Amino acid sequence: MSSWLDYTINGLIVGNVYALVAVGLALIFGVSRLINFAQGSIYLVGAYIGWVAVVQLHTPLPLTIIVVAVAAALVGLIIERFGLRPLQNSVRIAPLLATIGISFVLDQLVMLTFSPNPRALPSQLPDIRFQIGGGTIGPLDLLIAGVGLTSALLLFVFLRYSKLGWAVRATAQDRDAAMQMGVDVNRVNQAVFGIAAALGGVSGLLVGMYYNQIDTAMSLQATLKGVVAEVVGGAGNVPGAVIGSLLLGLVESYGVAVFGTSYRNLFAFLLLVVVLVLRPNGLFASARQAPPEPLTGTFIAPSRPVRIPRWALLIATAVFAILPLLPVSFYVLQTLINAWLLGMLALSLTLVAGTIGQVSLGHAALLAIGAYTSALLSLTFAVPVGLAIIGGGLMSAALGTALISPSFRLRGHYVSIATLAIGEIVSLVILNWESVTRGPIGISGIPPLSLFGYELVSPISIYWFSFIVMVVLALLQGRLLGSHLGRSFRAIRDDDIAARAYGLSLNRYKSLAFIFGGFAAGVSGGIAAHLYSYINHETFNTQQSILALTVVILGGLGNVVGAILGAVALVGLPEVFRIAAEYRILIYGIVLLLLVRFRPQGLLGTM
Amino acid sequence: MTNPPPDALLTLTDVNTFYGQAQVHFDLSISVPRGHIVCLLGGNASGKSTTMKIILGLVKPRSGEVTFDGASLLGLTTPQIVRRGIASVPEARRLFADMSVRENILMGAFVRNDREAIAQDLDKMLTLFPKLGQRLSQRAGSLSGGEQQMVAMARALMSRPRMIVMDEPTMGLSPLYVDRVLELIRTINQEGVSVFMVEQNASLALEIAHEAYVLQTGKIVLSGSARALKDDPRIRDAYLGGSEAA
Ligand SMILES: Nc1ncnc2c1ncn2[C@@H]1O[C@H](COP(=O)(O)OP(=O)(O)OP(=O)(O)O)[C@@H](O)[C@H]1O
Ligand SMILES: [Mg+2]
């Protein structure tokens, strides 16, 4: 049994590591109002470069740290120059999506180079521990604290006494005014990306040594923790990010002490949601801080959608409807079934992210809620599968809307952060609520699809079932968009201040969109549960949320036909080209990057 | 096409500016002779601040030409234009609110590298704006509007510009400060800095300007020497028309 002092030391050390990530996020947010979702990937890259240096090149510790910092800084500079600078004049969602795409690409490249299996990253310090008070502290703890303090000091000196540091601060406070003083904003961006990446990379190295292990799952975790710490401290506030990080480290450490390890992340995300809801500008925000997002909806690229004639849609529907009667392989049907399930999720997301402008990064949680509800209803209460799936849809609609509703007053990036956190919370609750969800074991033996007592086991019947459900949902959504309600949704997206001035109740409309969207996603998850027959807390993960986002951007945000087309394309094309599974995520990341850069309105245009 | 006079430091020729679909400037032509104070008058939303942004390269025109000292500014970025010798006092001052007054003023010298001369210039600013002396380490955001205007002007002067562009420098100031600001503009000008200023208050601006232009919904409707315009009955009409259109 460790002492409280040990938990405190552990909390502060982990907090130090988070601070190295969060400070970089804060610097970047300060100068470009961007949450850099690739920050965790740089941390991952730092950890693996450290592994190469330590294990293969046998570099001494100080050199290891320098190598990692320089290499990571280079990665940061490349991201800024080639990933983000070309997007300077794009809509505000573009750089955010680009960092998500970059993060996928970097993570996959690391995974392909080093394999997904964890590796041991040996600490280069002697394994001894000193007694202090009732606890112990080791050389690595001291190293991490030292690196944290040194970085903070260097950063302070840089910002306070160097010319470039002044430029960074001036740009963070007023970009246009800084330019009018002759500040080259590109150089400022370069500087902050380089610094943020160096700090993030070193952080990855230290964490790897601390836990003596590195693996590719570190990336998303680091981004999430860094974002939590940064938002808690106030987006863009550098000292705030440090304090937020230490606070987060302590909250987690004490939480683990009281409730156990599997609750660690739950505390982080609950803290985030509480801060977002109560103090979206962070715990230390000064009263006169500018709102962190523009007040009107420049988040979605305006475009003229491609008009597809009704007869063409009818023909396409008919072709897909009779497809199983043609001599096509089981494999083709299976692929299309996956596309229809993804299509339902995309319908949901395109409504929420496109039509009403709430870019959700946690949409897989709605799948999970629908899947678990439907599985448990049919298994535990013997509810017929057809009804159970509808129950799953209703539960997703209700629970999803209830969970997101505290965040309705957030905008832009903040919605994305909140939905990401809520998605993680759902998956952590599933993991920890063992009496209902069976925890990490998951649910097996879920009954197969059936309708009115007939089991749908043949691929053809499953195909038709999922296709018909998707078409019905799409038709409903099409009707919805054409109605007065749809116009109100778009009005809110385009300018919620004006929409409010016209007397539209934002909360009511956002709820309606999430209810409809939650239902579609829940139904998709429900069907999936009965197809897979086994689900656990990782079946529906952030990767799927991002895949769904890529699908709807590919199709055109808000575009119903586009969502389905995007799903068919992203599920189908890798099959057509026989792309191995491990390269798919990489391809999705690249597709997202290319779309953002060259065709932000998607294939069929935003609506 | 009107040919700019040969001694013009800054010229805008047939500039057409758009925000998306909306046209803000229609064949705008303005010239600022070397050593003069030129004032652009106009009501709300007539396109005055956009003219400033065109000069500074923050907004690029769809057509037309902008030259400074004979060379085109159109291909340049804002920092490059600033390095050519144009300093600005933006609308609503736009100080770096969380930086100190000293840091704000020194930010004005960002394009310079001569440390000692910068320090001397800072002292000079304190004689020109004596009130700022006690406020140097205070947060700029905590100053009064009039004091902020002084900081903004000191900041602009610190780059040793050949020309200063000012957007409504007297806006929101008490009469005492308005006089002070106008006096300072005249002093700055007498030291050889050309001034292009945007104003809504015609009678004030015409006090100190050499030439003036009147902008109405993106078109120059009147221009000439300040002395002539002061007595022109149309100036009031143009004015009221401009405000009503806004
Ligand atoms: N960034 C922008 N995007 C779109 N329209 C803009 C933008 N900036 C200004 N406008 C519009 O261009 C027109 C001219 O604006 P500008 O700011 O140049 O006017 P102004 O004469 O400075 O007005 P004021 O006296 O209120 O400062 C206005 O109709 C304004 O709404
Ligand atoms: Mg203006």
Confidence (pLDDT) at A156: 94
Helices (H) and strands (E) in chain A, counts: 24, 4
Reported as a pLDDT band with limits 50, 70 and 90, residue A297 is: very low
Q: Whose CA is nearest to atom 1 of ligand 1?
A: B19
Q: Which atom of ligand 1 is nearest to the CA of B48?
A: 21
The rounded radius of gyration (Å) of the Cα atoms in chain B is 18
Between strands B37-42 and B194-199, the pairing is: parallel
The verdict on the CB of residue B24 being under 6 Å from ligand 1 is yes
Question: If you take atom 10 of ligand 1, which residue's CA is the nearest one?
Answer: B19
List the single best residue of A88, A181, A189, A288 to mutate versus B (max B Cβ within 10 A).
A181
Of A242-246, A489-493, A515-519, the least confident: A489-493
The DSSP H or E segment spanning A291 is none
Asked if A219 and A264 count as a contact pair (C-beta separation under 8 A), the reply is no
**Could you tell me which residue, A89 or A556, shows the higher pLDDT?**
A556
Answer yes or no: is pLDDT of A319 > 90.
yes
Distance from the Cα of residue A429 to its chain's centroid: 18
Q: Which range, of A21-35, A81-95, B81-95, averages the lowest pLDDT?
A: A81-95
Confidence grade of residue B118 (pLDDT, cut at 50, 70, 90): very high
Considering only the beta carbons, identify the residue of B82, B103, B141 that sits closest to A180: B82
Instruction: Give the separation between CA B169 and CA B93, rounded to whole angstroms.
Output: 8
What is the distance between the alpha carbons of residues A414 and A272, in angstroms, rounded to a whole number? Answer: 11
Q: In 3D, which of A242, A178, A286, A290 has the Cα closest to residue B103?
A: A178
CB of B170 sitting under 6 A from ligand 1 = no
At A253-270, the pLDDT tens digits run: 998 888 888 788 888 888
Rounded to an integer, what distance in angstroms lies between the CA atom of residue A233 and that of residue A239?
Answer: 8
Please, is A592 exposed, middle or buried when counting C-beta atoms within 10 Å of its C-beta (0-12, 13-18, 19+)?
buried
Mean pLDDT of A489-510: 79
The mean per-residue pLDDT over the stretch B139-147 comes to 91
pLDDT band per the 50, 70, 90 thresholds, residue A129:
confident
Structure tokens given for A105: 């690409």
Instruction: Return d(Cα A163, Cα B106) in angstroms, integer.
Output: 10
Whether pLDDT at A303 is above 80: no
Ion ligand 2 — residues with CB under 5 Å?
Answer: B 49, 91
Burial of A121 (0-12, 13-18, 19+ CB in 10 A): buried
According to the model, what pLDDT value does residue A500 have? 74
Is A166 close to B110, i.e. CB distance below 8 A? yes
pLDDT of residue B245: 37
Alpha carbon of B47 to ligand 2 centroid (Å): 7
State if residue B116 touches ligand 1 by the CB under 6 angstroms criterion.
no
Residue B44 CA, closest ligand 1 atom number = 25
Do the chains contact at B110 and A183, CB–CB below 8 Å? yes
pLDDT, mean of residues A545-563 = 93
Lookup: tokens for B237: 């009409």
Q: Whose CA is nearest to atom 4 of ligand 1?
A: B19
Q: Does A182 touch chain B (CB under 8 A)?
A: yes
What are the residue ranges spanned by the domains of chain A? 2-219, 310-320+329-598
HSE-up of residue B125 (Cα within 13 Å, Cβ side): 29
**B240 pLDDT above the threshold of 50:** no
Read off the pLDDT of each residue in B200-228 and give the average, rounded to a whole number. Answer: 90
| Cβ <8 Å between B96 and A183 | no
pLDDT at B15 over 80: yes
Average pLDDT in the A405-415 region?
83
pLDDT band at residue B238, thresholds of 50, 70 and 90?
low
CA distance B64 to A98: 35
* Residue A106 banded pLDDT, cuts 50, 70, 90: very high
Chain B residues whose C-beta sits inside 8 Å of any chain A C-beta: 56, 58, 77-79, 82-83, 87-88, 90, 94-99, 103, 106-108, 110-111, 141, 155, 159
Q: Which of B98, B100, B112, B160 is most worth mutating to test chain A (most A CB atoms within 10 A of its CB)? A: B98
Is beta strand A135-137 parallel, antiparallel or unpaired with respect to B86-89? unpaired
pLDDT per residue as tens digits for the range A532-553:
999 999 899 988 999 999 999 9
Residue B239 has what pLDDT?
59
Average pLDDT of chain A to the nearest whole number: 90
Question: Rounded to whole angstroms, how far apart are CA atoms A39 and A23?
Answer: 11
The residue that leads in pLDDT, A273 or A1, is A273
Q: What is the pLDDT of residue B159?
A: 94
A1 band by pLDDT with thresholds 50, 70 and 90? very low
Distance CA A362, CA A542 (A): 6
pTM of the predicted protein model: 0.89
Q: Is the pLDDT of residue A489 over 90?
A: no
- DSSP strand pairing (A454-455 vs A450-451): antiparallel
Look at residue B1 and tell me whether its pLDDT is greater than 70: no
Mind listing the pLDDT tens digit for each residue in A141-188?
A: 899 999 999 999 999 999 999 999 999 999 999 999 999 999 999 999
Mean local confidence (pLDDT), A369-377:
97
Structure tokens at B198: 């945007």
Contacts of A169 in chain B (CB under 8 A): 96, 98-99
Question: In the structure, what pLDDT confidence band is assigned to residue B246 with cuts at 50, 70 and 90?
Answer: very low
Ligand 1 pocket test, pick from B25, B26, B49, B55 with the greatest ligand atom count within 8 Å of Cβ, gives B49
Task: Give the bridge partners for A535, in sequence order.
Answer: A443
| pLDDT of the residue at B72 | 96
Domain regions of chain B by residue span? 1-85+163-246, 95-160
Q: Is B50 in the pocket of ligand 1 (CB under 6 A)?
A: yes
Which one of A170, A182, A288 has the shortest CB-CB distance to B111? Answer: A182
Q: Using CA positions, which residue lies closest to atom 24 of ligand 1?
A: B44
**3 state DSSP class of A135:** strand
Q: Which CATH class is domain B1-85+163-246?
A: alpha beta
Cβ atoms of A368 and A573 within 8 Å: the answer is no
Closest-CA residue in chain A for B113?
A: A163
H-run or E-run covering A307: none
Instruction: Inform me whether the pLDDT recorded for A354 exceeds 90.
Output: no
From the CA of B200, which ligand is nearest?
A: 1
Contact A166 B103 (CB under 8 A): yes
Please list the residues that pair with B19 across neighbouring strands. Answer: B22
pLDDT given at position A524: 97
> Does A89 contact B at CB distance below 8 Å?
no
Average pLDDT of the residues of chain B: 89
C-beta neighbour count of A523 within 10 angstroms: 32
Q: What percent of chain A has pLDDT over 90?
A: 62
> Among A126-135, A298-307, B37-46, B192-201, which is the least confidently predicted range?
A298-307
Of B56, B98, B103, the CB nearest to A180: B56
More confident residue, B196 or B239: B196
CB contacts < 8 A, A to B, total 65
Does A317 have pLDDT greater than 80? yes
Residues A109-123 pLDDT 10s: 999 999 889 999 988
The pLDDT, as a whole number, for residue B236 is 64
| CATH number attached to the domain at A310-320+329-598 | 1.10.3470
> ipTM score here?
0.91
CB contact under 8 A, B96 and A163: no
pLDDT level of residue B6 (50, 70, 90 thresholds)? low
- Residue A122 pLDDT: 87
